[in-house]
Amino acid sequence: MSSSRLKITDTTFRDAHQSLMATRLRTEEMEPIAEMMDSSGFHSLEVWGGATFDATTRFLAEDPWDRLRTFKRLMPKTPLQMLLRGQSLVGYRNYADDVVKAFVDRSAEVGIDVYRVFDALNDERNLETAANAIKKVGKHLQMTICYSTTEEGRMGGPIYDLEYFIKRAQAFQTMGADSICIKDMAGLLAPYDAYDLVGSLKSMLDLPIQLHTHYTSGMASMTVLKAIEAGVDVIDTCLAPLALRTSQPAIEPLLVSLKGSERDPQLQLAPMLEMGDHLESVLIKYRNLLTSTKASVVDARVLSHQIPGGMASNLASQLREADALDRLQEVLAEIPITRAELGFPPLVTPISQMIGSQAVSNVLFGKYSMISGPIKDYIFGLYGRPPAPVQISVVEKVLDGYERGQEPFTGRPADLLEPEMPDARNAIKNISDDPDDVLTYALYPTTGMKFLRIKHGLDPVPDEMRPHDATGEPTRDTLVSKPFKSADFPKSARARAFNVHLGEEVYQIEVDPIQVDPERSKSGTKFTGAETPTSTGHKASSPLGLDPGDIGIEAPMPGLLLRHTATVGQGVRAGDPVVVLEAMKMENSLTAPIDGKVKSLPMAEGSSVVKGNILAVISPLAQDTVGK
């Protein structure tokens, strides 16, 4: 083979379906083409990392570690690659160094050969621990430059110029990188900028250069060709059914375009077409996720809002769940404004989720009136060094009352973190001591625990996590009627016991009147005590046993109730945190709307909630008793 032969990494099993269908492709639907993928001659196969860890445990009831083992068994010849978010691993916050080291050790043992490591702020301090751990286990360390622009839409300007990217790459080479990846997560890299950037890196570094781009803006195919002309060593593509839109360029037309040229990848077209046919047969089950809100394959507005592929599919899905899809264009317009206010960070996980979530909150609830915990941590400095200063007025507003202080931290973020693995082992000791399970919990304490209880048979698999057929209905063992958990609806004082006679047997049951719809108010849900006739002609009391004047704290959007930060009976002041809701993958503290006492916490920690669910009830309290 010619030394100039172009090499290709396939992303079909990871970033392609993350970008187009929120990472919902199941292992069983990829297995039939795995061996053919392994025999196709790819440089590497990206199969793990990114959002796959979260999606498998949260939505699919699949063990991500078992997925990796399956791929390693079926594809032993081709190096398996993962996307690692530096100190954030496969999560949305920085983890302690002991978690990072344990994760790298275990993933290398289970099957990862190539680690593509990046930091959302291109802050090399957040890559040190992961890079050292990868080198220690003898795996390929590919360090990554997150490509971005400021407001110009092209490389240059006050922040993201050619010198900026070259300095990042040189720092990564010094840290021991085996190769460098240009990660263009939003499809912003213009063709001639790619030519200049790749050419400069090739002339200044003695390392292979790889390009990862997305089709979102419509430039990806042109960008890839110019990068090939400039001497890029490896590019990322995927199979056509999961290509284009917010995903990667398709491999099939590229193979034909380069056939017989100096850079011919020398891969065969026929297997790609056959594997594509299989994907077409299974993707019909995901029509609801694959449906775009735009008629066009190209989203030229990405040059303004810069949303990466995986975030774009999630953003539309989450706004749809919040019954606010009609405000998508407002959110897209707000994102570049929020990004500028927060120091022009590259929009890549987890920063992209943070900026996107804050933009949604700004549109739906008012400018910085609802601030997620991660945004507060970011502005304090717990995610690293922003490329530009954060707007001072935003710093002052966001850090007002922040528990760590009002002066941002400038050191390495992980230096503030205590070891986490001992607590993780202890937390699940009654369920499992398997190192995979311990890491799953350490990465995702709430959703991870929920998954582990399902995995070990302590809880049933919810219908929404089961495989679905082409009509969208759950397959195998689906319950006709799904029971609620008693923790979601605590028994009230109105419950009454009854004897139920079935033949010669008698069963004792308790019956509690159901809720009625409450009246709403801006500060929460206020109950008037109005009584509603029941079917028996008697009058039912207020919903959830509430009294006139009680205020309910509602979920402002769908999400997961992570934890209660107040207890029943505790006195609180207006503005005190009461519950933490995870929405759009960000933690949001919901606060007491009035001075009062926590009367009830109707939903259990770990519960999935929909917009409008009452998460806490506050009863008014005299001023002199608040806080007691």
Contacts 24+ apart (CB under 8 A), 160-163: 160/387, 162/196, 162/197, 162/200
What pTM did the predictor assign?
A: 0.80
In three state form, how does the secondary structure of 155-223 look? Answer: CCCCCCCHHHHHHHHHHHHHCCCCEEEEEECCCCCCHHHHHHHHHHHHHHCCCCEEEEECCCCCCHHHH
- List strand residue ranges (DSSP E) for 311-375, in order: none
**Six token digits for residue 193:** 């900028």
**Six token digits for residue 286:** 């995901």
Cis preceding linkage at 253, omega within 30: no
Comparing C-alpha atoms, which of 278, 318, 314, 313 is closest to residue 299?
313
User: Which CATH architecture fits 515-625?
Assistant: Beta Barrel (2.40)
| Domain 1-448: assigned CATH number | 3.20.20.70
Q: Is 457 left (phi over 0), alpha (psi -120 to 50) or beta?
A: left
8 — phi, psi (to 5°)? -130, 130
Helix (H, G, I), strand (E, B) or coil at 500: strand
For the chain, helix, strand, coil in percent to 5 are 40, 15, 45
User: 232-265: per-residue pLDDT in tens?
Assistant: 999 999 999 999 999 999 999 999 999 999 999 9
- List strand residue ranges (DSSP E) for 470-534, in order: 496-502, 505-511, 525-526, 532-533
**pLDDT given for residue 484 in this prediction:** 46
CA dihedral 316, 319, 320, 322 (to 10 degrees): 160
Residues (pLDDT < 70) of the chain are 1-3, 152, 291-295, 309-314, 317-318, 470-496, 501-504, 508, 512-546, 622-628
Burial call 62-91: b when 16+ CB within 10 Å, e when fewer: bbbbebbebbbebbeebbbbbbbbbbbbbb
Q: Which residue spans of the chain are classified as CATH 3.20.20.70?
A: 1-448
- Side-chain-side CA neighbours of residue 240 (13 Å): 15
The bridge status of strand 140-146 relative to strand 80-84 is unpaired
Q: Which residue spans of the chain are classified as CATH 2.40.50.100?
A: 515-625
**pLDDT given for residue 470 in this prediction:** 65
**pLDDT given for residue 536 in this prediction:** 31
**pLDDT given for residue 487 in this prediction:** 56
Q: How many CB atoms lie within 10 A of CB 3?
A: 4
307 — phi, psi (to 5°)? -70, 125
**pLDDT given for residue 611 in this prediction:** 83
Question: How many angstroms separate the CA atoms of 185 and 211, rounded?
Answer: 10
**pLDDT given for residue 50 in this prediction:** 94
**pLDDT given for residue 532 in this prediction:** 31
**pLDDT given for residue 443 in this prediction:** 97
